[in-house]
Amino acid sequence: MALRAALRTKCALSGFLSQPSSSSRHGRVCASTVLAAQQRSNSTSSKISVDFDQSTGVAVMHMKSPPVNSLSLDFLTEFCISLEKLEMDKSCRGLIITSSLPKVFSAGLDILEMYGKSPESCGEFWKAVQEMWLKLYSSNMVTVAAINGSSPAGGCLMSLTCDYRIMVDNPRYSIGLNETQLGIVAPFWFKDTMANTVGHRITEMALALGMLYSPAEALKIGLVDQIVPEEKLMSTAEQAMAKWLAIPAHARQLTKSMMRKPTVDRMTSKREADVQNFVSFITKDAIQNSLRVYLEMLKKRKA
Ligand SMILES: CC/C=C\C/C=C\C/C=C\C=C\CC(=O)SCCNC(=O)CCNC(=O)[C@H](O)C(C)(C)COP(=O)(O)OP(=O)(O)OC[C@H]1O[C@@H](n2cnc3c(N)ncnc32)[C@H](O)[C@@H]1OP(=O)(O)O
């Protein structure tokens, strides 16, 4: 409810996909300049910026929340607002999600939202995580993840909700659902999303061991669809997008729905119980202790 209220308030306050500026008011301008301005629009919030090209119907969402694009409540709220607005804009047919930060796509859920927080805060946070997943996994747009850095846990989940994943081929980057390494358990809908992509057995091993894969390994198991050099990432994403957009929209959308609906329905039917499970699990002393140790490990590794 809080997320929905925040979405309503923010939507009312902010003009999204800001109208192209009317340069013609200032005198004579080149027609192509006007056209270009009319065809592109930009929206920026503190953690997300969106470039929308009306000539292609494709938006690029840049995650820009230093240091690691962790999915905090604020980040998720902004993310969902941006997504909802794009979804409502009939001229937007495709979305590419990428990071503006070097080396990191997204570090996954913000651990500080789960550590030392009240049950109420944890519950609100979890609803926002559910909302992000639901919106992305059932989006009518073609969604492409352009993964230009590490993408553990919730970052991997975000990528998995997209229709197509392209990752920069840098062995320093990794991707996977590594929750067990933090002493926590990936919820059933994280597991379902991964199993729908790479199959049951690979998911079982990956989740149990908290596996993080290099781009080459991720390609091998089908966790990502393509790996490319950094400089080719966006052009490859645009090419993939064009291929998906060339399919008649209704046929593509119905097929996506047919493939994903059972997973979406399972989650939505258990949504409330899932929040309760998360809150009671994450607030346990033993789990809080595991998160503390993991946070300390992250800090030590840095030192
Ligand atoms: C029975 C079941 C019932 C219900 C279900 C219950 C539970 C399920 C619960 C939760 C599911 C959670 C999924 C998640 O997403 S958990 C998050 C997992 N994420 C990670 O493990 C990533 C950790 N981070 C890293 O590995 C690295 O930071 C990196 C590879 C992403 C980037 O490396 P860098 O070297 O570039 O950066 P660092 O120096 O490591 O980090 C900079 C800075 O950022 C802090 N930080 C990193 N990640 C996070 C994060 N996820 N949340 C919050 N903060 C993070 C890090 O500590 C550094 O902070 P300081 O600058 O030292 O302050």
Task: Answer whether residue 126 is part of any domain.
Answer: yes
Task: Answer whether residue 28 is part of any domain.
Answer: no
Q: Are 224 and 127 in contact (CB under 8 A)?
A: no
Ligand 1 centroid distance, CA of 285 (Å): 19
Task: Answer whether residue 20 is part of any domain.
Answer: no
Q: Is 177 a catalytic residue?
A: no
Task: Answer whether residue 265 is part of any domain.
Answer: yes
Q: Atom 16 in ligand 1: which residue has the minimum CA distance?
A: 109
Ligand 1 centroid distance, CA of 69 (Å): 9
Q: Atom 39 in ligand 1: which residue has the minimum CA distance?
A: 302
Among residues 108, 123, 149, 154, the one annotated as catalytic is 154
Q: Is 3 a catalytic residue?
A: no
Question: Ligand 1 pocket: which residues have CB below 6 Å?
Answer: 67-68, 70, 103-104, 107-112, 150, 152-154, 178-179, 182, 184-185, 187, 277-278, 281-282, 298-299, 302
Angle between helices 2-13 and 119-137 (to 10 degrees): 60
Whole-complex ipTM? 0.98
Residue 166, beta-bridge partner list: 146, 226
Q: Is 179 a catalytic residue?
A: yes
Residues 40 and 168: their CA atoms lie apart, in Å, by 26
Q: For 109-145, what is each residue's pLDDT tens digit?
A: 999 999 999 999 999 999 999 999 999 999 999 999 9
Q: What is the CATH number of the domain that holds 255?
A: 3.90.226.10
24-53 burial, b if ≥16 CB within 10 A, otherwise e? Answer: eeeeeeeeeeeeebeeebebebebbbbbbb
Task: Answer whether residue 98 is part of any domain.
Answer: yes
Task: Answer whether residue 5 is part of any domain.
Answer: no
Residues 295 and 303: their CA atoms lie apart, in Å, by 13
Among residues 73, 149, 178, 223, the one annotated as catalytic is 178
Q: Which residues of the chain have pLDDT under 50?
A: 1-4, 6-34
Among residues 109, 182, 207, 233, the one annotated as catalytic is 109
The total number of structural domains that make up the chain: 1
Residue 145 belongs to domain spanning: 39-302
pLDDT of the residue at 19: 34
Angle between helices 2-13 and 73-88 (to 10 degrees): 60
Q: Is 42 a catalytic residue?
A: no
pLDDT of the residue at 302: 74
pLDDT of the residue at 36: 53
Which of the listed residues 68, 110, 180 should we mutate to test ligand 1's pocket, taking the one with most ligand atoms within 8 A of CB? 68
Task: Answer whether residue 30 is part of any domain.
Answer: no
Among residues 78, 131, 179, 238, the one annotated as catalytic is 179
Task: Answer whether residue 17 is part of any domain.
Answer: no
pLDDT of the residue at 43: 82
